[in-house]
Amino acid sequence: VLQQDFGQAIITAAFVDDILSLVLFNVLFSLGGGFDLFKVVIAPILGIAFMLICMYGAVAFWPKVIDGIIMPQAPGRRDGSVTGWRRLKLEKDELLFLLQIIILVAYSMITHLLGTHLWGCFIAGMSFACLSPPHHAHHVWVKQTKRMTTWMVRIFFACTVAFSIPVADLMSFNSFWKGTIMGIGPCILTKVSCAFFMGPPRFVIGWAMVGRAEFAYLIAQMAAAANMIDEETFSICIWALLYATIFAPFVFRFLLNRYIIAEGLEISAKGAHTLTEEGYPELEDEHHEGKAAKLDFASAEGVHPNDIDIECLKGGNKRKVELEDSPYAAPAANSMSPVPRARSVSGRAKEGQGNGFLCCLFFKK
């Protein structure tokens, strides 16, 4: 679906929306303590220039450096026979994750000096978007951080936004009806009506633009903490954002499914990258050649016994998988049975459909 015109429009608009939000976030809080030429004017210009340079680097520099120079220096998996300091040599995924942390810290430090570290975090993630194979950098990051970020995000919003909500003002009728108007109007209708000229997928695009508002909650809370808005205005903002948070995912899913059925579109796994609970993709590529040996029976000679998946040899999985060099497509959701997790690089599944949702659309929204 993301390969359709409206899918590309959604991705582009979401990207631009995040950039504008970060720029306005920087300018808004720079004005909180009075006008400062550097903070209000020069810093945002320098930040935009830095972002443009990093965007070029994400396309032309980092893929050549990381894929062509750095990653070939690391083994696919650690050799158990080596001794001494050679045992400290990082595997490919470990090295990639270390690079992600270094670039994240460096970019966030630079943009912190220009106004907000959030800008640098966004640019750091963008720097790994063009690496090969596609989505692998995302898989590595999620595999290492999923459990921690899942709970830390909950604790973060609970200790910042939730604890700062004035419950008495929030439950007042005055805040409710004003927040309802703000939620239905500026938060939802303005986004839904932005795509009326896009043809049949107009409502899919419109509701995709209605974000989940995590960043907006944070901005509202920081504005309230800086005494830029009073408690009643903060309560109205919370009510308005709640409408978008509650209705956007469900309405968008419904409209998207209806549009797919009406247009007869096929959900291809070409752009999907569904992860297991541990953060592994269902089938992975050359960066996991060590684990992939479990399914590569054609080259099983010389494979260490620890690399053989015993469960697969017990006959518990009766489903035959044909492997060939055609592009990978994940099995259909209704044809998948509970089997031991397997990862392969030497072959690709022949046919089927992925069960992944458009995770890119609401990754930060």
Does residue 68 fall inside a structural domain? no
Task: Give residue 351's pLDDT.
Answer: 40
Mean pLDDT over 242-262 rounds to: 89
Q: What percent of the chain has pLDDT over 70?
A: 69
Q: What is the distance between the alpha carbons of residues 207 and 186, in angstroms, rounded to a whole number?
A: 13
Q: pLDDT band for 131, please (50, 70, 90 cuts).
A: very high
Task: Give residue 1's pLDDT.
Answer: 58
Q: pLDDT band for 352, please (50, 70, 90 cuts).
A: very low
Does residue 64 fall inside a structural domain? no
Q: What is the distance between the alpha carbons of residues 145 and 279, in angstroms, rounded to a whole number?
A: 9
Least confident of 8-12, 154-158, 266-270: 266-270
Q: Identify whether the C-beta of residue 241 lies closer than 8 Å to the C-beta of residue 216.
A: yes
Q: Which residue has the tokens 């907000």?
A: 116
The string of pLDDT tens digits covering residues 34-61 is 677 888 888 888 988 999 999 999 999 9
Does residue 134 fall inside a structural domain? no
Task: Give residue 206's pLDDT.
Answer: 87
Q: What's the predicted TM-score (pTM) here? A: 0.63
Does residue 285 fall inside a structural domain? yes
Does residue 360 fall inside a structural domain? yes
Does residue 99 fall inside a structural domain? no
Does residue 199 fall inside a structural domain? no
Q: What is the distance between the alpha carbons of residues 1 and 85, in angstroms, rounded to a whole number?
A: 48
What burial letters (b/e) apply to 128-162, b meaning 16+ CB within 10 Å?
bebbebebbbbbbbbbbeeeeeeeeeeeeeeeebe
The 10 Å Cβ neighbour count of residue 277 is: 8
Task: Give residue 356's pLDDT.
Answer: 38
Please check the confidence at residue 276 and state whether its pLDDT lies above 50: no
Q: DSSP letter at 90?
A: P
Query: What one-character-per-residue DSSP string does 165-204 give?
Result: --HHHHTSHHHHHHHHHHIIIIIIIHHHGGGGGG-TTHHH
Does residue 287 fall inside a structural domain? yes
Q: Identify whether the C-beta of residue 345 lies closer than 8 Å to the C-beta of residue 286.
A: yes
What beta strand segments (E) does the chain contain? 323-324, 348-349
Count of domains for the chain: 1
Q: Could you tell me the residue range of the domain that residue 344 belongs to?
A: 271-365
